[in-house]
Structure 1
Amino acid sequence: MRRNPSNTVLTRLQLLMLLLQLLTVKIKVVDSHKVTASLILNHNYPVEEHTVHTPDDYILTIYRIPTSPKRNHQNQTAEKPVVFLQHGILCASDDWIINGPETSLAYMFADAGYDVWLGNARGNTYSRQHKHIHPDTSDFWRFSWHEIGVYDLAAMLDYALAVSQSNSLHFVAHSQGTTTFFVLMSSLPWYNEKMRSVHLLAPIAYMRNHSFILSKLGGIFLGSPSILSWVLGSKELLPITSVQKLMCGHVCSEGSMLKFLCSGLLDFIGGWGSRHLNQTLLKDVCSTHPAGASTSQIIHYLQLYISGDFRQYDHGRAKNEIIYQQPTPPSYNVQNIKCCVDMYYSDNDYMSAVKDVEYLASLLPCVELYRIPFDDWNHYDFLWSNNVKEVINNKIINKMMRYDDFV
């Protein structure tokens, strides 16, 4: 396959950045105030904090669970298969651990013998840094999930593979994490070769049948380039605050008369009527979410909804001509996704519609679909349901272990 010269330059920059990081790589002593790190330590698992620099100078914090206390009797120096988990929009690495050590996917991977890495995209709680730009300026937030895919995800995967001394990994993502996967594999197709297996929860690419009411309303005003989308773009969206954490401790706690507001908000966004959500997690979910993002990420999704296509950010005709050399944004070539993909989807997911997932699957050369056997399973049940271990997690691990019979 012939590579675009600009992609080759990007690859060289990524390799150079990675080499510089590895020459100075240090495992930081984690701070107790960081939720991902403190929770992992509280659950008696080891944790490492790593810093990843992207080619455009964003500074990301990612976490590693190198082993499990349940496997201390086994050879800890043996090479382990790598698994990388990527969160969704307005989320962070906390997603994969707050369900506790018996149910959370990250811990289950560690218990099964995997070298576990937890990513964090630019702009969230753990990745609000840039080499030159302060997060209080709009320049910091001038990105969408396109940049998260081609810069952040590529850099994090390369880093995890290099530190783990492996040439391939298993990849798991939820929601926007799946979108960034599609972006990366379509734009830089040689990353397909680094995938050992791929498991996408509530995948989002095409949004023709998207049913979230705020998307329908937002699409009218922000789904096409306009003065309003220009004014509202490149802004920080819903960062975590100390006031929010304090409120969560009261409103979402066990016994609170207002607890229904917390579960109701998740139902409104992810799909009404779920009986699966682990209600005891509401306080933890509230105190770590939303974790911050750029408004341009939301606008980009609204553009997909209005256009019916899976394509790059629409800056307007004049700027598109400069950036893309054409009046409209180029579509992502999903036919470039050559690695086999497992996609998990459900009927009651407002963000990831059944017809959209199945249409995407029809375009991929190697795909396996798993439709959740509950008609009320929603967008967040993929992470925090009472029965997520039995419905999804065990299925993913069993599938992965077919590739890794030495685990």
Structure 2
Amino acid sequence: MGSLSLVIWSFFALLCPILNSSNEVVASSRGGPFRLAETEVAIGAAQAGICASAVTIHGYRCQEFNVRTDDGYILSAQRIPEGLAGGGGSSRPPVLLQHGVLVDGMTWLLNSPQQSLAMILADRGFDVWIANIRGTRYSRRHVTLDPSKPEFWNWTWDDLVMHDLPALLDFVFQQTGQKIHYVGHSMGTLMALATFSERKQIDKVKSAALLSPIAFLSHMTTALGVVAAKAFVGEITTLFGLSEFNPKGDAVASLLKALCAQPGVDCYDLLTALTGKNCCLNASTVELFLKNEPQSTSTKNLVHLAQTAQHTLKSGCFSCPRWKAH
């Protein structure tokens, strides 16, 4: 429970996507035509990642795919085409699961099959697809850019809306020939709301279930959350000199220590300091998550999210006015 990496993951997974049931639509300022992603191919069994480690071990069929975005990132995607009882086929409705910030597609598979949404949906008759955005462990590839270089990390959630989500939705639509049920969590809801608010991709989506949707952040009251948001708005890239934000790195640990030293911030019980009391976390759950999460993102992405948090803390709403990270 006292792990620095757990706290950083918890903070940004919970600070940026504060739980809210609002129907407010999120707007985003983007421009330029969308270009279809190039043809993607299935990955061989020897290269399997999430499938081999979290799905097939439970007896489910699973396929690994590469999905190339129109700006050259190569995203990992998984498909569970049927449940344990079989019955796969074209009649099964496709559902795309999109994770949030600082985690990857493994987040849908960390519990038992009876408690993991991906396998629950497969057993209930869905053709399940799992997305992994750029920068996460299985999506650290690009046609020309190297993840060890700053250029690979020059993006924010606005780019995920413009490039990653369209590529993933297009690919699933092309593979299945059906409209897609979309399930997003946290930043995955932000990606969807920003896209749908501009009436993009809606011809490929049948429904959307948004978990912890990002619309308002004015309910965020914890001292540590507010201090951390201000720290990132203060252009933390200049403090770290980092383009990749690695939650397990020394720089992030130093950041947390600095935040916890701020007046009014009590980090003795870090999770409670960030989120309030949580009924559903215990030692075994935390240990399981730390074996797989958190994942890297771009520091620029967190700056953008923190700017969003500061903006909504002042104005009360996310979507007024439209604006973009500097």
TM-score, shorter chain, exceeding 0.5? yes
Q: Relative to structure 1, is the Cα distance of residues 78 and 164 closer, same or farther in structure 2, using a 3 angstrom cutoff?
A: closer
Using the alignment, how far apart are the partners of 1:121 and 1:195 within structure 2? 19
For residue 354 of structure 1, what is the aligned residue in structure 2? none
Partner SS for 2:45: coil
Query: Match of 1:216, as an amino acid?
Result: V
For residue 376 of structure 1, what is the aligned residue in structure 2? none
Between 1 and 2, higher relative CO (CA 8 Å, sep ≥ 6) is seen in: 2
Give the greater-gyration-radius structure (CA): 1
Query: How far off its partner does 1:278 sit?
Result: 5.8
Query: Structure 1: 5+ residue runs without aligned partners?
Result: 1-5, 242-263, 316-407
Any conservation in 2 of the 1:175–1:201 contact (CA below 8 Å)?
A: yes
Aligned counterpart in structure 2 of residue 282 of structure 1, from 281, 286, 297? 286
For residue 176 of structure 1, what is the aligned residue in structure 2? 187
Q: Would you say 1:110 and 2:122 are equivalent positions?
A: yes
Using the alignment, how far apart are the partners of 1:267 and 1:30 within structure 2? 42
Using the alignment, how far apart are the partners of 2:272 and 2:62 within structure 1? 32
Query: How far off its partner does 1:232 sit?
Result: 5.1
Counting only pairs closer than 5 Å after superposition, residues 136-285 of structure 1 correspond to structure 2 as 136-166=148-178, 168-187=179-198, 189-223=199-233, 228-229=236-237, 235-238=243-246, 266-269=271-274, 271-277=275-281, 279-285=283-289
Query: How far off its partner does 1:312 sit?
Result: 3.9
Q: Relative to structure 1, is the Cα distance of residues 177 and 266 closer, same or farther in structure 2, using a 3 angstrom cutoff?
A: farther
For residue 10 of structure 1, what is the aligned residue in structure 2? 33
Partner SS for 2:76: strand
For residue 21 of structure 1, what is the aligned residue in structure 2? 39
Query: How far off its partner does 1:233 sit?
Result: 7.8
Partner SS for 2:67: strand
Partner SS for 1:69: coil
Using the alignment, how far apart are the partners of 2:102 and 2:123 within structure 1? 28
Q: Would you say 1:97 and 2:109 are equivalent positions?
A: yes
Using the alignment, how far apart are the partners of 1:160 and 1:292 within structure 2? 25
Q: CA RMSD in A?
A: 2.5
For residue 62 of structure 1, what is the aligned residue in structure 2? 77
Using the alignment, how far apart are the partners of 2:46 and 2:125 within structure 1? 23
Partner SS for 2:193: helix
Aligned residues: percent identity?
A: 30
Using the alignment, how far apart are the partners of 2:273 and 2:54 within structure 1? 28
Query: How far off its partner does 1:175 sit?
Result: 0.8
Q: Deviations over 1:78-130 (max 9, x none)?
A: 42100000001100111111111111110011001110000001111111111
Give structure 1 regions of 4+ aligned residues with deviation exceeding 6 angstroms: none
Using the alignment, how far apart are the partners of 1:234 and 1:142 within structure 2? 11
Query: How far off its partner does 1:38 sit?
Result: 1.6
Query: How far off its partner does 1:299 sit?
Result: 1.0
Q: Deviations over 1:48-102 (max 9, x none)?
A: 00001111111100111011122x3x4x334210000000110011111111111
Higher helix share: 1
Q: Relative to structure 1, is the Cα distance of residues 216 and 238 closer, same or farther in structure 2, using a 3 angstrom cutoff?
A: same
For residue 399 of structure 1, what is the aligned residue in structure 2? none
Q: How many residues align?
A: 271
Query: How far off its partner does 1:281 sit?
Result: 3.0
Any conservation in 2 of the 1:93–1:118 contact (CA below 8 Å)?
A: yes
TM value normalised by structure 1: 0.61
